[in-house]
């Protein structure tokens, strides 16, 4: 009986990791979890959780369809940490990235689309090299199976309105070109107590990625001898004081 239950659980796990996907519906700040899409733009896949494959689509900006009004904007301090819940958990292997885009003169976080050369990458994760004798899928990627993800707003970020874009790129079938799966969302933030950082380099969506780059066309299951050399897609991470 015990073995039957164990088998059933194992089977259910396999089903969920092969069919389930994920979204980022709730913003987390100072111990509060805000209701779905209160400060996060409602994504195109908020019901079906589908992955986005097309890296030439403007949907890549904020994963929105344009069918819903923009949400509210949350005030946060530079240097604080904010988070996103993961509905469905991150059930694929791949890097987690964060970008920010500043609203320009007479713009607000709610008024900007995320189009144009406006995005700076503020964080990325690489696979972790470890000697633990576990299947690669279960330990190599820091956010595998995460139910929330967190990011520090750069302390030197200038005061102003921003989009904060979370992105997870699933690579489990990326050994075939174009089979990278993109998941993500944008939060609207008003950043106060900011600094004098100069955000660089700026990039655009679409435009930041190409289907044949080594971070998006990669077999993470075979010939994976040097995961620490994995090249996360997109520009260099901008860091305060650099
Ligand atoms: Cu998938």
> Which element (helix H / strand E) includes 188?
strand 181-192
CA of 92 to the centre of ligand 1 (A): 7
CA of 228 to the centre of ligand 1 (A): 23
> What does the alpha-carbon distance between residue 210 and residue 189 come to, in Å, rounded to a whole number?
29
pLDDT value at residue 15: 42
CB atoms within 10 A of CB 114: 20
CB atoms within 10 A of CB 104: 13
| Side-chain-facing half-sphere of 225: CA atoms under 13 Å | 1
Structure tokens of 25?
């519906």
8 Å CB contact between 95 and 166: no
Report the DSSP beta bridge partners of residue 81: 152
CA of 31 to the centre of ligand 1 (A): 30
**CATH class of the 21-229 domain in this structure:** mainly beta
pLDDT value at residue 225: 57
CA of 52 to the centre of ligand 1 (A): 9
CA of 161 to the centre of ligand 1 (A): 33
Tens digit of pLDDT per residue, the chain (242 long)?
Answer: 444 444 444 444 444 444 689 999 999 999 999 999 999 999 999 999 999 999 999 999 999 998 899 999 999 999 999 999 999 999 999 999 999 999 999 999 999 999 999 999 999 998 876 665 555 544 578 899 999 999 999 999 999 999 999 999 999 999 999 999 999 999 999 999 999 999 999 999 999 999 999 999 998 876 565 677 789 999 999 999 85
Residue list, CB under 5 A from ion ligand 1: 181
225 Cβ partners below 8 Å, 6+ apart? none
pLDDT value at residue 230: 86
CA of 173 to the centre of ligand 1 (A): 8
pLDDT value at residue 208: 98
């Amino acid at each position: 009986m015990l073995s039957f239950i164990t088998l059933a659980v194992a089977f259910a796990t396999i089903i969920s990791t092969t069919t389930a996907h994920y979204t980022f519906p709730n913003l987390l700040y100072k111990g509060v979890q805000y209701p779905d899409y209160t400060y996060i733009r409602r994504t195109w896949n908020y019901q079906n959780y589908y992955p986005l494959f097309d890296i030439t689509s403007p949907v890549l900006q904020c994963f929105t369809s344009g069918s819903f009004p923009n949400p509210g904007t949350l005030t946060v301090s530079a240097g604080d940490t904010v988070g996103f819940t993961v509905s469905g958990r991150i059930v694929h292997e791949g890097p987690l990235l964060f970008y920010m885009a500043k609203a320009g003169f007479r713009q607000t976080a709610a008024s900007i689309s995320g189009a144009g050369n406006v995005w700076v990458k503020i964080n990325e994760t690489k696979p972790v090299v470890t000697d633990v004798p576990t299947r690669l899928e279960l330990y190599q990627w820091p956010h595998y199976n995460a139910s929330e993800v967190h990011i520090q707003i750069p302390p030197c970020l200038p005061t102003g309105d921003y989009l904060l874009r979370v992105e997870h790129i699933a690579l489990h079938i990326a050994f075939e070109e174009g089979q990278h799966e993109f998941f993500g969302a944008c939060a609207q933030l008003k950043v106060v107590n900011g600094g004098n950082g100069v955000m660089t380099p700026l990039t655009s969506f679409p435009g930041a990625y190409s289907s044949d780059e080594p971070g998006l066309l990669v077999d993470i299951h075979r010939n994976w001898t040097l995961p620490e050399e994995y090249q996360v897609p997109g520009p260099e991470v901008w860091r305060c004081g650099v």
